[in-house]
Amino acid sequence: HGVNGLILCTQFGLCCIYIVFIATNVRQVITTYLPNDVDVRVYEVVVVATLLPSQPCRLDSRPAFTGISGLPLYLGTAFFTFEGIILILPIKNSMKNPESLGGWTGLLNLAMVAITCLFAAMGFSGYLCFGDDTLGSITLNLPNDDWLYVSVRVMFSFVVFVSYGVQFYVPIKIIWPSLEARLQSEWLKTYGEYLLRIFFVFVTAAFALLVPHLDLLIALTGAFSSSCLALIFPVTIEMLTILAEPGRPSMVVLAKDVLIVFVGLIACVTGTYAALRDIVNTF
């Protein structure tokens, strides 16, 4: 139940982030050509309604480390990149040849190597270009006076918009079967899932409207949920499995697992606290 709860937090956090991402990027595009001072929350409402749719710089000008105070938010943001781990088992269960997913040259490793390189390159290049002025999404730093940059922002928003339903797949698969088993009405069994989906769209919209800050939503979701799902729980399960097996467990493996759990707990506690503190300070 704890794992399912964290999965739900992660996926719904992603949906909130997607709403803010789309609204912020679309707002920036529109205000370029139709100057107005409409609050980003108005764009979020429109997004929800639809859900029912540089210049080179010197390296020494970009500090490699901003200090301990910024580390918790960084860890939350970094662990957010693990959000795709939740979709691994559903993907494996849907594959024609599930055995192709694992292994040194399996689909998972090949995909993660490419994704890691992409994330690292985007993060490094974005910070190198914009420094401390880097916004919650690198697309928000792109100039507004060139059609190429505008089209990139629009395409990114469209891709995230389409992905919103993918993120809904896992939580609905967790919630609906147990809920359906308790229903007596045939009408609710037929249309209940649609109502559930609509309800949670409004729930994610409420959080997005409450905290329309992309960077803080990413940090909070990553620190609270992703650190547990990607680091703490898998390693804890491995430790318990090793200790339950007959024979002497490998001290090296156990030490590695303890270290990973410790790092995960520190990131979870400090990252969640820092994100919540900054969210409170925005009001």
SS3 assignment for 17-36: HHHHHHHHHHHHHHHHHCCC
Structural domain for 246, as ranges = 2-53+57-94+101-281
The pLDDT value given to residue 55: 34
Residues with Cβ within 8 Å of residue 96, at least 6 apart in sequence: none
Count of the separate structural domains present in the chain: 1
The pLDDT value given to residue 273: 86
| Per-residue tokens: 128 | 């190198």
The pLDDT value given to residue 259: 92
pTM (predicted TM-score) = 0.61
pLDDT along the chain (283 residues), means of 10: 76 80 84 78 82 50 63 66 68 81 81 82 78 75 80 84 78 84 81 84 84 79 81 87 81 88 88 84 78
Buried b (16+ CB within 10 A) or exposed e, 226-258: bbbbbbbbbbbebbeeeeeeeeeeeeeeeeebe
